[in-house]
C-alpha cells in the first residue's frame, strides 16, 4: 500500500493527521536550527566579559548582538550602578525572556504528540462502527468489500496516528532537555560575571554603540 492508497483507505481523518505531521516537521526543523547551544550561550563568553570589564570598556552594542546570552549579560551590566542585587535581578529577568523564547513551539509539538494517537483511535472506532453496520445491513459479496474498507480505515488511522505521535513525543522530550542544558550553561556564565563584579574594584566602563561612534562612559556601582 503506497501513501496515496493509505490516505484514501484512512478516510477524512487522514487529513488532520497529515496536517499535524507537516506542522510537527516544521517545528522540529526550526527548533533544531534555533536551539544550538553555541548560538544561544557560547562557551567562554562570561570569561570574555570579565576580561572586558577589567580592561574596559564593555561594548554593550556588541554584546547584545553577539548572542542571547550576551543580551542577558548586557542587561545586567546596564544596571551595575544600582548594586549587586539589582544586577542579579535584571539578569534573571532577561534570562527568563530567553528561556521563554527557547521554549517557543514546544507546547504545540507536545499537543501534536498527545492528540494524534487520539485521532487514530477515533479512526479505529469509526472504522469498527462501519464494520458492524455492514454486518447488520449488507450481505453476500458486497459485505466482504465493505468489511475490508472499515477494517482498513481502523488500522490505517491508528498506524498513522502513532507514526506521527512517536517522533513528535521523542523530539518534544529532546528539546525540553536541550533547553534545560542551555539554561544551566547560561546560569553558570551569568553567575561567573556576577561573582566577578562583586569583587571588581573601581568603575565599570560601558559603551552603548558600535566602537568608534560614541565614547565610553564609566559607571560607579552602588555600594
Residue 212 to residue 82: CA distance in whole angstroms: 27
pLDDT of residue 175: 97
pTM here is 0.81
Tens of pLDDT along the chain (223 residues) come to 555 665 666 677 888 999 999 999 999 999 999 999 999 999 999 999 998 888 878 888 889 998 999 999 999 988 888 777 888 889 999 999 999 999 999 999 999 999 999 998 888 888 777 777 766 675 544 566 556 666 776 788 888 899 999 999 999 999 999 999 999 999 999 999 988 888 877 777 888 766 555 445 554 444 4
Q: Which residue has the cell 568608534?
A: 212
CB-CB contact of 136 with 146 (8 Å): no
User: What confidence score (pLDDT) does residue 56 get?
Assistant: 75
- Grid look-up 490505517 returns 156
Q: What is the pLDDT of residue 214?
A: 47
| % the chain with pLDDT above 70 | 80
pLDDT for position 1: 52
R_g over Cα of the chain = 28
| Phi then psi dihedrals of residue 81, to 5 deg | -70, -20
pLDDT of res. 142:
57
Question: Tell me, what's the pLDDT at 114?
Answer: 96
Paired with 207 in beta bridges are: 59
- List the grid coordinates of 11: 478516510
Amino acid at each position: 500500500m503506497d501513501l496515496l492508497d493509505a490516505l484514501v483507505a484512512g478516510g477524512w481523518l487522514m487529513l488532520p493527521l497529515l496536517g499535524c505531521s507537516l506542522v510537527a516537521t516544521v517545528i522540529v526543523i526550526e527548533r533544531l536550527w534555533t536551539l544550538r547551544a553555541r548560538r544561544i550561550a557560547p562557551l567562554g563568553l562570561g570569561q570574555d566579559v570579565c576580561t572586558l570589564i577589567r580592561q574596559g570598556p564593555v561594548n554593550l552594542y556588541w554584546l547584545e548582538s553577539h548572542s542571547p546570552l550576551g543580551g542577558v549579560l548586557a542587561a545586567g551590566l546596564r544596571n551595575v550602578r544600582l548594586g549587586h542585587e539589582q544586577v542579579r535581578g535584571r539578569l534573571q529577568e532577561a534570562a527568563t525572556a530567553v528561556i521563554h523564547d527557547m521554549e517557543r513551539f514546544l507546547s504545540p509539538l507536545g499537543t501534536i504528540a498527545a492528540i494524534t494517537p487520539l485521532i487514530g483511535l477515533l479512526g479505529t472506532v469509526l472504522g469498527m462502527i462501519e464494520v458492524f453496520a455492514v454486518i447488520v445491513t449488507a450481505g453476500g459479496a458486497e459485505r466482504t468489500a465493505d468489511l475490508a474498507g472499515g477494517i482498513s480505515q481502523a488500522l490505517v488511522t491508528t498506524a498513522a496516528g502513532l507514526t506521527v505521535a512517536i517522533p513528535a513525543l521523542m523530539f518534544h522530550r529532546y528539546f525540553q532537555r536541550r533547553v534545560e542544558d542551555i539554561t544551566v550553561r547560561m546560569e553558570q556564565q551569568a553567575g561567573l560575571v556576577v561573582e566577578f563584579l562583586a569583587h571588581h574594584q573601581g568603575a565599570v566602563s560601558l559603551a552603548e554603540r558600535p566602537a568608534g561612534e560614541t565614547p565610553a562612559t564609566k559607571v560607579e556601582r552602588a555600594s
